[in-house]
Amino acid sequence: MIDNERNKEILLIAQEECAEVTQAISKVFRFGLDGTHNDVTNKQRLEEEVGDLLCMINLMMESNIISAYGVHIATKNKRAKLAKWSNIK
């Protein structure tokens, strides 16, 4: 259980950023990377949202909510799964 208010806030904002990345990806699929809304391309919006999420991931590691080593291992494992089960090389 997370009993530290700062860590709760970090996790809450990270959760919100995940939803915003999901929404930005949906816009790319619907309107393309070059589609625009309010003079911002979908690519720019996706970059911004991914950057926001990466910031929150870094804060989770800095706050010891998760470990950089654990994230590194999970990343390696995901790449191995993708090599086996997807067309992503």
| Number of Cβ atoms within 10 Å of the Cβ of 35 | 14
Residue boundaries of the structural domains of the chain: 5-85
Residue pLDDT, tens place only, 44-87: 999 999 999 999 999 999 999 999 999 999 999 999 999 999 99
Cβ-in-10-Å burial (0-12, 13-18, 19+) of 49 comes to buried
Q: What is the pTM of this model?
A: 0.92
Residue pLDDT, tens place only, 20-34: 999 999 999 999 999
